[in-house]
Amino acid sequence: MKTGIGDRFQEETKYARGRLGGGYLDWQGRPEPVKRYPDAPRFELDPPVREGGLPLWEAIGRRRSVREYKNIPLTRSELSQLIWAGQGVTKKISGYELRAAPSAGALYPVETYLSIQNVDGLKRGIYHYNVKEHTLELLRPGDFRSALAKAALDQDFLAEAAAVFAWTAVFGRSKWKYRERAYRYVYLDAGHIAQNVALAAVALGLGSCQVAALYDEEVNALLGVDGKEESILYLTSVGRP
């Protein structure tokens, strides 16, 4: 079989004893740890629930990919819980704001965007999650259901979901420390986050489906990111089954 770029990537980003590809960290040049849209309209999210709920083992056992959704909106409290499960701050310690999902070096290169499509009290549009404030920032009002489904290889169930999470990576946050190895880590981070959201959906009686089959630049355009410094990694649809 012909060697491709994936094979070369795997080989060239391996760690070996005496060859970690490290060096000193440029603290002056460290990228911003979070992204904000200060001029965007901001919407408060309910405080997340941190106790009770469905037992973890039951949630794991019941998790399945769900691609059919009823035309019943999510509540804002349900949306808040899903977002917090994926990327919410769970503890502040020694200057770090630790989150619900693990991240290599606690660098958190993944940003959360959402296509809000059927949520009580929120107009349709593309939103960004402000981690520090646990709020949503409205970037583009409008109905993007069909455009998003088309950008995801015409998977129509995305248009039927109440909300679609879109996770991007700001690559420089991880490359600052891990160089080329960072590209491995950002995809792992996205997987951790998506699994948390999937389990939270089960606990809330909702369905979700994870999607990586997409036209990258079409989704990037919907989100308003450049596809170079920041680019789409993964999608998750959520709705009532």
Asked, for residue 155, whether it belongs to a domain, the answer is yes
100-152 tens-digit pLDDT? 999 999 999 999 999 999 999 999 999 999 999 999 999 999 999 999 999 99
**Residue 40 belongs to a domain:** yes
For the chain, how far is it from start to end, CA to CA, in angstroms? 42
For 102-108, the CB contacts below 8 A with 24+ separation are 102/189, 102/192, 103/185, 103/189, 103/192, 104/174, 104/178, 104/182, 104/185, 104/188, 104/189, 105/174, 105/177, 105/178, 105/185, 107/33, 107/173, 107/174, 107/176, 107/177, 108/33, 108/34, 108/173, 108/189
For 5-44, what is each residue's pLDDT tens digit?
999 999 989 988 877 766 678 888 899 999 999 999 999 9
- pLDDT value for 210: 98
Residues of the chain with pLDDT > 70, as a percent, come to: 99
Domain annotation covers residue 3: no
Does 97 reside within a domain?
yes
Place of tokens 């660098």: 107
Q: Considering the domain boundaries, does residue 24 fall inside one?
A: no
Q: Please count the structural domains in the chain.
A: 1
Average pLDDT, the chain: 95
Q: What is the pLDDT of residue 120?
A: 98
Mean pLDDT over 49-71 rounds to 96
Q: What is the domain-level CATH number for residue 84?
A: 3.40.109.10
C-alpha–C-alpha distance, residues 204 and 7, integer Å: 40
Whether the predicted pLDDT of 167 surpasses 70? yes
10 is a domain residue: no
Range of the domain at 78: 33-239
Residue 70 falls within a domain, yes or no?
yes
* 108: helix, strand or coil: coil
Secondary structure element (H or E) that encloses residue 236, with its range: strand 230-239
Domain membership flag for residue 205: yes
